[in-house]
Amino acid sequence: MIKTKKQGLLIVLSGPSGSGKNTICDEVKKNNLNIWKSISMTSRSPRDGEIDGKDYYFVSSKEFEEKIKEDKFLEYAEFAGNYYGTPRENIQKHLDNGEDVILVIEIQGALQIKKKLPQALFVFLLPPSMAELKRRLTDRKTESKSKIMERFETAYKEINELSKYNYVIINDKVNDAVMKLEAIIKAERCRVDRIEEVFLDSPEEKIHEILIDKNLENKPVDVNNI
């Protein structure tokens, strides 16, 4: 009766460092085979263990700048002398194939995307408290105290952008947060503006109406004459 649009959903997931964005994304992807996690492009060199096309698409600075001129990115930024961006073509290909795409990205990049694709789904992930966020950052044991404090202070600024998102999820328990994100995605798929066509005059609908009418009249139905 209802035909929905084949186009997949673009889900933009943001939140402070330590909120658990990649963990939640990976768990949702495990449970949903029709979801593709976007891969960013960068001009920096690969680190030990990183694989081109899996962790990042690695290109030269010159190639990245050429792609900027050709408007090949949904968003991009420069950090510490290196470029990072989201290739437009890869995401569009998966969306056109009916796949949902999750893009884990910082708030700056998310707001760039919102200007270009306001119809995308924007979800903000929060820790249960700032004390818990600080604990998570400290427990990583991968950064200096000054860097941890820098990330912690940045988190306060990022949270001020919360109102620009469609949904917020508090990541207290991973399983609960995963279920909430999956529920949001399912609800978005049911939106009326995703309906492409409603078949009210199809042969199947006519048969259905006849069967209902005959049933109400308590008359036998000869299927050969329908």
Angle among Cα 94, 95, 97 to the nearest 5 degrees reads 65
Contact 123, 181 (CB under 8 A): yes
pLDDT attached to residue 69: 96
pLDDT at 4: 66
Quick one: pLDDT at residue 105? 92
Q: What pLDDT was estimated at residue 149?
A: 81
Low-confidence residues of the chain: pLDDT under 70: 1-5, 141, 196-226
N residues, the chain:
226
3-state SS of 130-184 is HHHHHHHHHHHCCCCHHHHHHHHHHHHHHHCCHHHCCEEEECCCHHHHHHHHHHH
Q: How far apart are CA 145 and CA 16, in angstroms?
A: 17
Identify whether the C-beta of residue 185 lies closer than 8 Å to the C-beta of residue 100: yes
CA pseudo-torsion sign 19, 54, 93, 113: positive
What pLDDT sits at residue 193? 80
Residue 150: per-residue pLDDT: 80
pTM of the model: 0.78
Helix (H, G, I), strand (E, B) or coil at 57: strand
Helix axes 174-189, 21-31, angle to 10 degrees: 60
Report helix, strand and coil shares of the chain as percent, to nearest 5. 45, 20, 30
Q: What is the pLDDT of residue 225?
A: 56
**Mind listing the domains of the chain with CATH numbers?**
2-225 (3.40.50.300)
Q: Are 119 and 186 in contact (CB under 8 A)?
A: no
The two structure tokens encoding residue 14 = 């943001």
